[in-house]
Amino acid sequence: EPEVTQTPSHQVTQMGQEVILRCVPISNHLYFYWYRQILGQKVEFLVSFYNNEISEKSEIFDDQFSVERPDGSNFTLKIRSTKLEDSAMYFCASIPGQGVYGYTFGSGTRLTVV
Amino acid sequence: QKEVEQNSGPLSVPEGAIASLNCTYSDRGSQSFFWYRQYSGKSPELIMSIYSNGDKEDGRFTAQLNKASQYVSLLIRDSQPSDSATYLCAVIAAGNKLTFGGGTRVLVKP
């Protein structure tokens, strides 16, 4: 079964450093998402991406965050200057098209900011 | 603020029994409803989707939707220890964005 692949599985970074989380969505999927889950809390929407641009973003997704699809396969989330409160699991997800809601989530990246 | 609410649990059920999980949502415009299973430290795994009022069965799982009451539920029949996990209710109101509840932790005791 096709998978969404995320790397790295765990990243530890110093506060103030930049991190890039990487995702390879399923190849024929068109809509891409980042969600995060702080330990013990809800899964929260960050951003959706379609046709090489952001289609929706949450209040969490401030100027410190950016997303990019640098080539035909990768989808990245960059956090420019990490804060302690950015520590969370970050999940990438993708769907084939509008109205097809069977999200496939990647296995996640655990980001720890120290 | 669009909310999805679940009892956090834990819901303790004996092996072989039925586990019943509930979820309410605030946005009347919600159109699509999902149940995800999440094991500790893992990503959400889709187990059921439901779009219209009534029941939908898939194996040991049954999802029930009542849009008038803004209520969606999940029944797990013949519960197994491997069903011990956190079950997340999620809703789409507009676009494709999922809004998640906080999850119900289920413990199936042998």
Per-residue confidence (pLDDT) for residue B43, from 0 to 100: 96
Per-residue confidence (pLDDT) for residue B77, from 0 to 100: 98
| B73, pLDDT greater than 90 | yes
Which of A42, A55, A101 lies nearest to residue B100, judging by beta carbons? Answer: A42
Residue with tokens 């849009």: B67
What residues in chain A have per-residue pLDDT under 70?
A: 99-101
Per-residue confidence (pLDDT) for residue A100, from 0 to 100: 63
Residues 6 or more apart whose Cβ sits within 8 Å of residue A40: none
Select the residue from B27, B97, B104 to test the A interface by mutation, using most A Cβ atoms within 10 A. Answer: B97
Which of B88, B92, B95 lies nearest to residue A43, judging by beta carbons? Answer: B88
- Digit-coded pLDDT (tens) for B18-49: 999 999 999 998 989 999 999 999 999 999 99
- Long-range interactions of A59-65: CB distance < 8 A, separation 24+: A60/A36
Interface check for B103 against chain A (CB to CB < 8 A): the answer is yes
Mean pLDDT of B57-80: 97
What count of other Cβ atoms lies within 10 Å of the Cβ of residue B8? 13
Interface check for A91 against chain B (CB to CB < 8 A): the answer is yes
- Which among B22, B18, B42 has a CA at the least distance from the CA of B101? B22
On chain B, the residues whose CB falls within 8 A of the CB of A98 are 96
> How many Cβ pairs within 8 Å bridge chains A and B?
50
pLDDT band at B1 (very low <50, low <70, confident <90, very high): low
Mean pLDDT of B79-89: 98
Question: What is the chain B residue with the closest CA to A41?
Answer: B102
CB of B94 closer than 8 Å to CB of A98: no
Question: B82 phi and psi, to 5 degrees?
Answer: -70, -10
Question: What is the chain A residue with the closest CA to B43?
Answer: A107
Q: How far apart are CA B45 and CA A28, in angstroms?
A: 20
Question: What is the chain A residue with the closest CA to B6?
Answer: A42
pLDDT band at B81 (very low <50, low <70, confident <90, very high): very high
Two tokens, residue B2: 């669009």
What count of other Cβ atoms lies within 10 Å of the Cβ of residue B12? 13
Per-residue confidence (pLDDT) for residue B64, from 0 to 100: 98
- A45 to B98: CB separation less than 8 angstroms, yes or no: yes
Question: What is the chain A residue with the closest CA to B91?
Answer: A101
Q: How far apart are CA B70 and CA B52, in angstroms?
A: 12
What does DSSP assign to residue B47? E
What does DSSP assign to residue A17? -
Q: How far apart are CA A43 and CA B48, in angstroms?
A: 17
